[in-house]
């Protein structure tokens, strides 16, 4: 099956509506002028150079079904044969104890939808995300110490009794052999070899079987560390019902997320360690990766190194920081610096930055005029908030410090900074 639309993230290689409108009218009517996350952010736009309506991709990558028979595929942006290394950005976010708790909106996997067959495993962008997040959470569990739980065992005990005596087995294995001092008992032991850890150990082994093609030292290192921590835990044959046996404890909060990710891994690769994924018929669940959200969290990691707990991200502002003006909300504020920060994931190397900065500067300036936002950073009527605009670059290695923030000559009290994002060669 071929994709209905195949393009690159925010690419000019658009799908021209005019030529195929009659043939695909039902499918194309699903696109509007506003990016729709259900269809990887694709939207209708008028191309004045070609004088035609086009479907233009946005800043989402992944695979989604357009209807029962047609799917769309958007791959990462390519520039000078390199692309943004989204996995390295994600890993940076996972290492931060604050940011790692707020990555839910960076990607979504639709396991309950029909899976899409891909010809090349390099187009499977989501599996490394899934494995990496799982390994990072399990590593946190291992550092704190594995949870212990009760497990039923059957033992042939000498000169003592525990739990329930298994009469038939005692007679068969002991009394018939004149071993009257031994008793077969079924009882519970308190051990790390409990069902929760067994599920995680089996998921780790499933990850190790499917790391082919993921040339990332961090993933390999994390996997080895985690497997060493689970050395005394047995792997088991997993079924969906095993997850219903787990009782979550507030003292082990990481287990809930780790088990949810483990369940996703089993759905991706199979519940059995003996299941095989045919590389020639590799199927993946529909998914998307939200690159602007990932970039915003990546920027948050850098900002926290400067402002620490003084930094308040948009998700941390709560209802008290939502404004009455269209619910405007900046990406970050720093109260102690009277600073408003906006992070935009855009590829400025393709465009004239002075032309394309204009709209973003206008939005940032509007944040500085909204009363609720000004009140949140305690700016009075006679003061001006400092505005900072952060965007990505692949060519500049400037250190992320306050002294590196550049003044914008054409706008008063606006600073800008191009932060370098990791890149990699396209496979």
Return the pLDDT at 93.
Answer: 92
| 316 in a structural domain | yes
Into how many domains does the chain fold? 4
Residue 217 lies in a domain: yes
Nearest to 390 by CA among 348, 423, 424: 348
pLDDT band at 181; cut points 50, 70, 90: very high
The more confidently predicted of residues 289 and 36 is 289
**Domain assignment present for 176:** yes
Residue 351 has pLDDT above 70, yes or no: no
Whether 397 shows a pLDDT value over 80: the answer reads: no
Strand locations in 9-165, DSSP E?
Answer: 15-16, 43-47, 52-56, 60-65, 71-75, 82-84, 107-109, 116-118, 149-158, 164-165
Does residue 313 share a domain with residue 357? yes
Say whether pTM exceeds 0.75: yes
Helix (H) or strand (E) segment spanning residue 7: strand 5-8
Counting beta carbons within 10 angstroms of the beta carbon of residue 200, is it exposed (0 to 12), middle (13 to 18) or buried (19 or more)?
Answer: buried
**Domain co-membership, 404 together with 297:** yes
Range of 166's domain? 149-191
pLDDT band at 2 (very low <50, low <70, confident <90, very high): low
At residue 280, the pLDDT reads 40
Q: How far is Cα 412 from Cα 336, in angstroms, rounded to an integer?
A: 20
Torsion angle (degrees, nearest 10) of CA 59, 62, 66, 72:
90
Contact 361, 388 (CB under 8 A): no
pLDDT in tens, 91-135: 899 889 899 889 988 988 888 888 888 877 777 888 888 888 899
Predicted confidence at residue 399, as pLDDT, reads 85
Handedness of CA 233, 236, 242, 243 (dihedral sign): positive
Query: Does residue 405 share a domain with residue 373?
Result: yes
Domain shared by 179 and 328, yes or no: no
Considering the domain architecture, whether residues 132 and 238 belong to the same structural domain is answered as yes
Q: How confident is the model at residue 210 (pLDDT cuts 50, 70, 90)?
A: confident
Q: What does pLDDT average to over the chain?
A: 83
CATH number of the domain encompassing residue 338: 3.40.1350
- Looking at the structure, do residues 394 and 325 belong to the same domain, yes or no? yes
């Amino acid at each position: 099956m071929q994709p209905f639309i195949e393009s690159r993230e925010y690419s000019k290689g658009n799908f021209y509506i005019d030529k195929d409108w009659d043939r695909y009218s039902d499918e194309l009517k699903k696109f509007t002028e506003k990016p729709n996350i259900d269809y990887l952010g694709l939207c209708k736009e008028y191309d004045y150079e070609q004088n035609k309506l086009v479907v233009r991709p946005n800043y989402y990558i992944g695979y989604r079904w357009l209807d029962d028979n047609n799917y769309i595929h958007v791959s990462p942006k390519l520039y000078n044969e390199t692309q943004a290394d989204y996995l390295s950005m994600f890993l940076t976010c996972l290492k931060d104890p604050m940011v790692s708790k707020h990555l839910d909106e960076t990607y979504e996997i639709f396991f309950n939808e029909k899976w899409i067959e891909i010809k090349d495993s390099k187009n499977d962008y989501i599996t490394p995300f899934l494995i990496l997040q799982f390994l990072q959470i399990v590593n946190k569990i291992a550092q704190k110490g594995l949870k212990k739980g009760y497990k039923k065992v059957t033992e042939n005990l000498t000169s003592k009794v525990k739990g329930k005596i298994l009469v038939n087995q005692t007679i068969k294995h002991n009394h018939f052999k004149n071993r009257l001092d031994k008793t077969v008992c079924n009882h519970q032991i308190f051990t790390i070899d409990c069902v929760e850890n067994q599920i995680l150990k089996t998921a780790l082994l499933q990850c190790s079987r499917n790391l082919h093609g993921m040339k990332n030292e961090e993933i390999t290192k994390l996997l080895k560390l985690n497997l060493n921590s689970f050395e005394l835990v047995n792997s088991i044959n997993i079924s969906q019902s095993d997850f219903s046996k787990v009782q979550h404890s507030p003292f082990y909060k990481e287990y809930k997320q780790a088990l949810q990710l483990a369940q996703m891994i089993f759905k991706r690769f199979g519940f059995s360690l003996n299941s095989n994924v045919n590389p020639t018929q590799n199927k993946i669940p529909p998914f998307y990766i939200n690159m602007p959200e990932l970039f915003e969290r990546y920027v948050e990691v850098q900002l926290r190194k400067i402002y620490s707990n003084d930094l308040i991200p948009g998700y941390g502002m709560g209802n008290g920081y939502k404004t009455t003006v269209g619910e405007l909300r900046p990406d970050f504020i720093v109260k102690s610096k009277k600073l408003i920060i906006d992070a935009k994931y855009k590829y400025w190397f393709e465009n004239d930055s002075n032309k394309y900065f204009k709209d973003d500067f206008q939005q940032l300036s509007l944040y500085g005029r909204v009363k609720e936002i000004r009140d949140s950073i305690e700016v009075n009527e006679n003061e001006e908030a400092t505005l900072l605009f952060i965007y990505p670059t692949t060519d500049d290695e400037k250190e992320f410090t306050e002294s590196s923030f550049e003044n914008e000559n054409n706008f008063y009290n606006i600073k800008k900074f191009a932060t370098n994002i990791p890149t990699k060669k396209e496979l």
